[in-house]
Amino acid sequence: MQVPATFEYERADSVTHALELLERYGPEARVVAGGHSLIPMMKLRLAQPEALIDINGLAAELGRITVEGGELAIGALVRHAELLESTTATDPFPIFRDAERVIADPIVRNRGTVGGSLCQGDPSEDLSAVFAALHATAVIQGQGGTRTVPVRQFHEGPYETAVGPGQLLIQLRVPVTLGTGSAYEKVERRVGDWPVAAAGAVLTVEDGVITRAGIGLTAVGAAHFCAPEAEEHLTGRPPGAEAFAEAGRIAAEHCAPSADQRGPADYKRHLAAELTRRALATAAGRI
Ligand SMILES: Cc1cc2nc3c(=O)[nH]c(=O)nc-3n(C[C@H](O)[C@H](O)[C@H](O)COP(=O)(O)OP(=O)(O)OC[C@H]3O[C@@H](n4cnc5c(N)ncnc54)[C@H](O)[C@@H]3O)c2cc1C
């Protein structure tokens, strides 16, 4: 049986308390939310934090989904299952429903959190592509105050994020715009598995022309989980099959997939193009 190395355990009762505990225990302390990524890593000794700061008691501060000032605000402690069931989130952005239905299984979704998913920074993580497609903003808090970071700058590399030592991811914010449609397409080897490849699309159309496009990609080596060149191709064009196929081609061209147990690189590149095309078509149909 694999067991983690010994560690101190503290349960935070507020965000302020969690930040104090992080400062007290220093850079070797780690936050634990759902624990679905961190605990397996600790059991394998890939992570050996000296202290775990449990933030599961902070639902009042970090577990809400609201609309504030024209933005959808999703707390970092919102569970996957809560996001899946939240019509506040899924009515304006069905991309959340598409993605959450195929993230892991109900056991993981009942416990795993939005913040934990993003902070884990796994290159195959689904919500990173979703929030990249949505041009979302991450709110990070430390002892010195809060700052916002575009989600497209949040991931600094595999398993590396903009959340520094002593800081917490607090919230994700998504601008709510009229005339927007969204969708997510994923290929997985079996139900509940990580993606072989997946693509999210968000389109805003005004007067028959795409005024804003968002494309998110995961598991295919897309820099910062997005496809800006394909978005640029779409902006200013009317939505349509030809434009979507070309955007998929451009998105795939800028990916750098790696061959692994989930498939060869050329298959993943093919999926990047095809899933982008399908997500765009579904998003346009939902406007
Ligand atoms: C069997 C299985 C299948 C899975 N399948 C998928 C899948 O198909 N697609 C997918 O995208 N994911 C998948 N996952 C990953 C799952 O979604 C994540 O493990 C989970 O959501 C991470 O969230 P958590 O709350 O459990 O994070 P934790 O494990 O608690 O934390 C993960 C990391 O984030 C840090 N952290 C957590 N919250 C914060 C915060 N608020 N501020 C700063 N740092 C924080 C922790 O310190 C840790 O480093 C799967 C996981 C399992 C176990």
Q: In terms of Cα–Cα distance, which of 85, 92, 63, 13 is closest to 286?
A: 92
CA 137 to chain centre: 11
Task: Kindly give the distance from the C-alpha atom of residue 36 to the centroid of ligand 1, in angstroms, as a whole number.
Answer: 5
User: Ligand 1 center to residue 252 CA distance, Å?
Assistant: 27
**CATH dotted code for 8-54:** 3.30.43.10
Predicted local distance difference test score (pLDDT) of residue 192: 87
What dihedral angle (degrees, nearest 10) is formed by the CA atoms of 49, 150, 212, 195?
-10
So what's the pLDDT on residue 178? 83
Beta bridge partners of 186: 198
Tell me the whole-structure pTM to 2 decimals. 0.96
Choose which residue among 7, 21, 22, 38 to substitute to test ligand 1 binding: the one with the highest number of ligand atoms within 8 A of its C-beta. 38
207 alpha carbon – ligand 1 mean position (Å): 40
Question: For residues 154 and 160, what is the distance between their CA atoms, to the nearest angstrom?
Answer: 9
pLDDT confidence of residue 1 = 65
Domain 180-285, second-level architecture? 2-Layer Sandwich (3.30)
218 lines ligand 1 (CB under 6 A): no
- Give me the sign of the Cα torsion angle 39, 43, 45, 46: negative
- 60-175: which CATH topology? 3.30.465
Range(s) of the chain covered by CATH 3.30.465.10:
60-175
Atom 1, ligand 1: residue with shortest CA distance: 104
Closest CA to 250 of 277, 225, 223: 277
In the chain, count of helices (H) and strands (E)?
12, 13
Rounded distance from Cα 112 to ligand 1 centre (Å): 6
On the CB side of 149, how many CA atoms lie within 13 Å of its CA? 21
- Residue 44 Cα to ligand 1 midpoint, Å, equals 16
Residue range(s) occupied by CATH 3.30.390.50 in the chain: 180-285
> Which residue's CA is the nearest one to ligand 1's atom 38?
116
Query: Tens-digit pLDDT profile for the chain (287 aa)?
Result: 688 889 999 999 999 999 999 999 999 999 999 999 999 999 999 999 999 999 999 999 999 999 988 999 999 999 999 999 999 999 999 999 999 999 999 999 999 999 999 999 999 999 999 999 999 999 999 999 999 999 999 999 999 999 999 999 999 999 998 889 999 999 999 988 999 999 999 999 999 999 999 999 999 999 999 999 999 999 999 999 999 999 999 999 999 999 999 999 999 999 999 999 999 999 999 99
Asked whether 215 lines ligand 1 (CB < 6 A), one says: no
Domain with CATH 3.30.43.10 in the chain: 8-54
